[in-house]
Structures are given as C-alpha cells and as structure tokens.
Structure 1
Amino acid sequence: MTLFNSARTAIRNASIESPAVPLTSTTLLELFGGPKVHAGVAVTEEASLGMPAVWRAVNLIAGTAGSLPLHPYREVGDVRVKVTTGRAAQLLDEPHPDMTPFELWELMFGHLLLWGNAYFRVLRNRNGQVQELWLIHPGRVRAGRDSETGLKIYEVDRAPDPLFDEQILHIPGPGYDGVCGVSPIRAARQGIGLALAAERYGAQLFGNGSLMSGILQTEQRLNGEQADALKARWKAKVGGLDKAHDVAVMDSGIKFQPLSIPPEDAQFIESRKFQIDEVARMFGIPPHMLMQTEKSTSWGTGIEQQSLGFVKFTLRPWLTRVEQRLSRLLRDQAVYVRYSLEGLLRGDSAQRSAFYRELWGIGVYSTNDIRRLEDQGPVEGGDVRYRPLNMGVLGTEDSEEVPADV
C-alpha cells in the first residue's frame, strides 16, 4: 500500500486546489478567463453561475444525473446480470475516499456542463485494478495527442510529467476535434454576457434610486431639516392602507411629480426573460424547468411530454458518454456500466406503479423483481413470471379445456 499512498499524495499535490491560491481567486479567473464580451462583462465558467438560469440548469442536469443508480453488468449468455461484488462494483459504490458517489458524479457532470470536459486521476492497486477516481479541475488540464504515436496525453499543472490514458479518465463533451469537448459557456458567452450585464444593470437601477415613487417639488429653498420634515408630512398624509385612494392636500405651492420606469429601462425585464429561454435552449432544458412557465405547452402536449423529452433528448446523451467511458475503464473486469433510468420514477408513485404493472403483465418482471426494486424482501412463489392473454405461467401452453360454466 506504500506505492498506492504515495500516488495519492502525488495527486493531492498535482491536481487538488492549493489553499494558498484557490481556484476562485481573481488571478486564476483572469488567467483562465477570456476577454470581455460585447456586453462589457467578462464571462467565465465560474462567473456564469451568477446567472440564476445557468445555476438552475447546471444543478438540474448534474443533480438529476448524479442521483441515478449506476451499476456494472456482465453478459452471461443472452442474459444481462448485475454485478454486485468485485472490484467494479466496489469502485462504483465508493469511487472516492472522501466524497460520496452522488457528490462525485454531480461535480463531474458540473464540469462537463460548464467546461465541456471532466478529468479523473485514476489510482490503481498493485494488480493494476482501478482503486479510486479523483476529479481534477478542468482548468488545470491541457489535453492533446502525441504527434508521433497519436496517443492522448495530458498536462496537469504542477505535475512534473505528462500523463496518459492509463492514468487519466477523460470524459469529453461535444466537440469538433475528437479530443476535447467545447465549453458551452465559452460557446454561448455573448448571450450569457448579455444576461449578466442585464442583471448588473437592474441592480444598479434599484441601487441608484431610479425606482422612487415620485418627487415633491416647491419653489422655496429648503434646508435639510425642512426637506425631511416635508417628506415626513407627506408620508403621514398618504402612507398606510387607511389612506388608500384618499386625497392629500399640501400648502406652500408643493407639487407631487410621480415617477415611472422609462421605457428603455423597463425593457431590461423583457431582456432577462428572453435570456432564460436562451439558456434553456443552450442546455436543452424545457423552459418550465427553469421556472419559465409562460410557454409551458410549446413542446408536445404539455408539461409531462416536456419532462419526458428532457430525459430522452437531453439527459440520456450525457449519461451515455459517462457509461461508455467507465465501461472502457473497467473492461479488464469484463463488465459494462449502465445507469438505471428507473430511478427517475422514485418520486412518482403513480408512474412507478404503472411501469411495474406493465412489465409484470408481459413477463419481464416477477413479483420478487419488483419487490427488490422497492427495497423489500422476496415472498414465496414470487419468482414466477406470467405472460399475457390468459395470464398463464410463462413457458406453458394454453389450456384447451372449456370451463364448465360455459
């Protein structure tokens, strides 16, 4: 274990954030960030999370995907059997010594969604089997191909030597060079920059007092005490529910001039709504999942179809990327990795019941199969499977006898 512990120490030194120079420091943000966009703000992966729609989109996909059950399977003849013991099962149950599986996978999907790439440092035991997976911040890795061998190589800052596929698990997002994924934030930085600028503008609009209800005007010159007294008199006359729709009378030539948001200032509200739709389009999320419900029936027949489309067209491709990369990592164990999408039914008892009933009725699940999925013990005779038509025992012939009461 000495070799394994020294490797873990090397990982801490090479790829884990230094307390002296945290990743969120201004220096590193400037180093990894690009120039300002046309809206006048700098857009980085970290800064984009300041936009609530981006924060919600990343948390929605990363949290949902990270919470799904992830298991290794092995082909036994024509049957897929879930592997519950051995190195592969242990790795997926405890991939990291400190982080829970959900925390690790959620952070991995966050890296994919923001940087377009996720990198793990692979720690192996003396037999070469994968022991642990340590996430590396994407901003600390440069990936490419060796010009002579064509093999992928990785440069990690503060690591003395380049690393290779045996040492790095790289999960790329959509890209164009077959090596690295493209950061969605960098690809859509102009739209996100516009949203961040609109939010900053709105904060300044409120902060500089542009939303006062009105101005009291008089021809007389007032000192500070007189102005405060006048304001107090006005509030006393018009403040409170009991003064609603009442008429205020002021003397000394005082006039009240109501204020409203100028049309050009009010437009930023509509602009922010449009940017929510842009973020939803960028991440492939139905707008209602970002709390934008004005167009909740624009896809399919309603909310249910939009949610189904999110699973099929957005979530599934991300899951497939991770499944295939983990399967390649564990191919020495003769297993492949699959997410269980049935985990999405965990909070919907009606859909879960309908799902079980349908598969039970055609012989796919037995009673005990369903009970295991519901974390309940088996029952006697619960392993029998049934077939449709007359619900006879699966594998038997239909009875040709006519019932006596016919």
Structure 2
Amino acid sequence: MSGGDGWFVRMLGGGKTNAGVSVNEHLAMQLPVVYACINRIANPIATFPFRIMRPKRSGGGMEVVTDHPLSSRLALRPNDLMSGRSHRKALVGHVLRWGNGYNEIERNRRGQAVNLWPLLPDRTGPHRNGDSLVYRTSIDGRQFEIDHGDVIHIMDQSFDGYVGISPIAMARQAIGMGLAMEEFGAKFFANDMKSGGFLMHPGRLSGAAKGNVTGKDGERRMNAADPASGIERQGGLDNAHRVKVLEEGMKFVQTTIPPEDAQFLGSREFQIAEIARIYDVPLVLLQSHEKTTSWGSGIEQLMIGFVMQTIAPWISAIESEMNWKLFTEDERAAGTVVKFNMNALLRGDMQSRSEFYAKMFGIGAFSPNRILDLEDEDGIGPDGDEHFVQAGYVPIRHAINPPGIGHNGGPPIGSEGANQ
C-alpha cells in the first residue's frame, strides 16, 4: 500500500479522490450537504407512525394489531437500548451511506419477532451458501453467521441483487471535490485570505536571510507554526491585519488564481446541486435557493413531490422486506403487515383536507373514525365506523325510471301493470 491509498483502501471506497482528499462513508458526513440530504430523507421516515396492521374480520379495511409481541415495541422501542425514531433513523442512515442497512431479528420460541437489533453495515454482508444466503457479521471482534430469514436487509440499487451499491462510493469524486473546496476555503482564511505565490529578491540572499526563510537542512520555514523555527508566523487568523515584514527588499508575487476569479462560490453551489441529485432531494429543502423546483410553486406540491419521488421508494423497500421476514407463515397468511402512515406529509393544508374529507364522507368512502384516524385524533367509538351517503343521491337508472313510476305517470316499465 503506497501513500495510504492502496488497493484495499480503494476497494473499500476510501482513499484519495482526484481532488486530493480522501472520501469514505464516514468522512463524507463532514460535507454539510451530504449530512443534510441524509437528514431530509431519514427524519420523516423516523417520525412516521409505524404500526402492525391486518384485515378486519368483518366490514373490510385494516385494523391495528395489538396482540403481536412486537406491536407495542415496533414504533416505540424496537429493542431495549434505543427508541423507535433512533432505530429507524440509524437504519435509513446506513442505507444512504453504505447502500445497505441491516437488522437482526430476535424471535421467541414460537418464531415471532420480539426485537430488532441494528448491525453495522461495514462489518456485515450476505454470502451465498449453496442455494441459501447467510449473513456474516462482526460484533465486538467476534464473527457470527446469521440465517437469511433473521436479517432485515434494506438496499436500493444493486449489481447482483444481494449487496447494495454505496451512494458515497459511486459519488466519491463529486463529494471529494466538495470536501476539497471546503478545505481550500478554510486554508484561504487561515492564510489571511491571500492566495499563494513566491518571494522575489533583487539580488542574492545573505546567510542570515536564508536562515530566516529556510531551516538548517533547507526545509521551508515561512509558514512554520513553531515559534522556535527562526521566523515569526505571518499567516493565520491570529495575525490578521498585522503588519508583515519582508527582509532585504524581497517582494511577494501572487501566482494562483484568486477565489473570485475561479468562481469559488459558484462551484460550491454547483456541488450542492450535484450531491442533491444523488439523493433526489430538492434544493429548496437544503436551504439552497439558486434554483427553483419543477414540482410546482407551492410548498404543498413540493412536499407531495418529495414524498412520492424520494421518500415513498424507501418506505416501500422497508415495508416489503419487513412484511416478508418479520412474520411467521401463519401471520402472513392472515394478512399481517407493517405500515407507515405518510399522511402527515401528504395531506396538504387545512382547507384542502377539509374539502377532501367532505367529498369522501359524502360518497360513503370514509367513515368519521377513518377521518379522525387520518388526522391523528381519537375515534368516537363503534358508531364512528358507520358509512353515510346523502339521501338525495340515487342510482342513474332510478333517476331515468324512478321506482313505482313509469312513463307519463304510469306504472314502472317492465312491471305487470305496464304490460297490460
């Protein structure tokens, strides 16, 4: 391994990029836009109501399951050490960085899931074992092998269908450029907001001047931080606005392009957009107002587009994986599923919701309890499950030929009286 950037480091997605900085799933979080994108996606998923549901025994629709060992724990405390929000945010955060999120399922003697435990994605992975799949993981330095059916594995894109692709590894050059510009900006301010250059001397340096500029072995001393280096440090914020002295008629000549000429701010803004594309997060949700969204001008349309385009695919991935592995065959046969409630982000403003509920209630589609549940309010008891329709609504065939009345006031067409 040469220069700390050998084949093994590159294989793991680390090492230096073309911009000269190292990028991996941990270092990428130091770039604010990566941190923000992961937060924008993980936060709503971590806060959506999350329940176990199954079909009602009568009347149709779904009901909340309260008699499953995981019912009270899934949303509130998937294990004894973390809350439901922390658990789901960690799971989604792992997928958005490593491309894979793993949870081990702890079961009781009946085979029912009772706890969910996160596994570190950089220490866990699936392996083919004949015709089956097993997961190997490392916990506290010990190796474990877990059956495929006892591991929740969330991923997005994959080359082979077994292991997800790390977004950080795929976008490491774009992220590396963003980190390089962060470092460049920091060093620019640390260097008293001056670009690099060289010192021009009208003649030959005296021995004393050479000693001040270089050390005894020829190393450069101009920016040495050690006070004993032979020259007072000139750069840095601590020395900003102080008078600098160049000896023996030396002159500083700037050679690099100033940040304004290199369009430094514009480049940084472009990198924000570039990384936002990786995660499908609208720029306005990242406090970047350089471009407008194409999903509509209102915040309602923006949020609906964000939920449907970005959040919904992850919700589907989590639900489908958990629905297959969390429940026993009997539970799956009974229609038991986990369900996120995304209505909090989809229901729009108060007026729009009121109009929607009024229409759905008027045609008998929603009961009062269903509307209250969508608004996260308590129901009104069994009577609230009734469905209502307006008495003035009749089928079209009755409007054309009302019951009991035929053409011209006679008996109904087709009746015995009409045929006489």
**What is the TM-score normalised by the length of structure 2?**
0.69
Amino acid at match of 1:55: Y
Q: Which moved more, 1:93-102 or 1:367-376?
A: 367-376
Alignment of 1:177-256 (within 5 A): 177-210=160-193
* TM-superposed deviation, 1:98: 1.9
Q: Which residue of 2 aligns with 1:370?
A: 371
* TM-superposed deviation, 1:361: 2.9
- 1:72 alignment partner, SS class: strand
- 2:30 alignment partner, SS class: coil
Distance 2:403 2:376 in 1: 37
Structure 1 residue 116 corresponds to structure 2 residue 104: no
Q: 1:59 aligns with which of 39, 53, 63?
A: 39
Q: Which moved more, 1:375-384 or 1:330-339?
A: 375-384
- 1:49 alignment partner, SS class: helix
Distance 2:74 2:109 in 1: 19
Alignment of 1:15-26 (within 5 A): none
Structure 1 residue 283 corresponds to structure 2 residue 287: no
Percent pairwise identity = 35
Q: Which residue of 1 aligns with 2:269?
A: 273
Could you tell me whether the CA contact under 8 Å between 1:91 and 1:130 is conserved in 2? no
**Deviations 1:168-205, CA, capped at 9 Å, x for gaps:** 22222221101011110111110011011011111111
**Deviations 1:69-127, CA, capped at 9 Å, x for gaps:** 11222235753333233224234233111211111111111111111111112211222
- 1:387 alignment partner, SS class: coil
Could you tell me whether the CA contact under 8 Å between 2:56 and 2:63 is conserved in 1? yes
Q: Which residue of 1 aligns with 2:28?
A: 48
* TM-superposed deviation, 1:40: 0.6
Alignment of 1:76-91 (within 5 A): 76=56, 79-91=61-73
Distance 2:161 2:361 in 1: 43
Could you tell me whether the CA contact under 8 Å between 2:304 and 2:346 is conserved in 1? no
Alignment of 1:4-19 (within 5 A): none
Amino acid at match of 1:378: I
Distance 2:381 2:136 in 1: 55
- Higher Rg of the two aligned structures: 2
**Deviations 1:9-35, CA, capped at 9 Å, x for gaps:** xxxxxxxxxxxxxxxxxxxx9995522
**Deviations 1:228-263, CA, capped at 9 Å, x for gaps:** xxx89xxxxxxxxxxxxxxxxxxxxxxxxxxxx935
Q: Which residue of 2 aligns with 1:97?
A: 80
Q: Which residue of 2 aligns with 1:340?
A: 341
Distance 1:181 1:161 in 2: 21
Amino acid at match of 1:101: G
Distance 1:308 1:205 in 2: 41
Could you tell me whether the CA contact under 8 Å between 2:46 and 2:88 is conserved in 1? yes
Distance 1:131 1:263 in 2: 57
Distance 1:342 1:384 in 2: 22
Structure 1 residue 106 corresponds to structure 2 residue 89: yes
**Deviations 1:288-341, CA, capped at 9 Å, x for gaps:** 111112222444455443322111111111000000111012331231122111
Q: 2:17 aligns with which of 37, 41, 45?
A: 37
- Cα pair distance change 1:389/1:210, threshold 3 Å: farther
Q: Which residue of 2 aligns with 1:311?
A: 307
Distance 1:347 1:47 in 2: 37
Any stretches of 5+ residues in structure 1 without a counterpart?
1-28, 213-223, 225-230, 233-260, 402-406
Q: Which residue of 2 aligns with 1:168?
A: 151
Could you tell me whether the CA contact under 8 Å between 2:70 and 2:114 is conserved in 1? no
- 1:81 alignment partner, SS class: strand
Distance 1:128 1:375 in 2: 34
**What is the TM-score normalised by the length of structure 1?**
0.71
Distance 1:326 1:66 in 2: 15
Q: Which residue of 2 aligns with 1:156?
A: 137
Amino acid at match of 1:133: L
**Deviations 1:6-61, CA, capped at 9 Å, x for gaps:** xxxxxxxxxxxxxxxxxxxxxxx999552211011111111111111111110010
Q: 1:132 aligns with which of 91, 115, 118?
A: 115
Could you tell me whether the CA contact under 8 Å between 1:296 and 1:303 is conserved in 2? no
Distance 1:106 1:317 in 2: 16
Q: Which residue of 2 aligns with 1:17?
A: none
Tell me how many residue pairs correspond in the alignment: 325
Amino acid at match of 1:197: A
Distance 2:144 2:83 in 1: 30
Any stretches of 5+ residues in structure 2 without a counterpart?
1-8, 196-231, 233-240, 243-256, 405-420
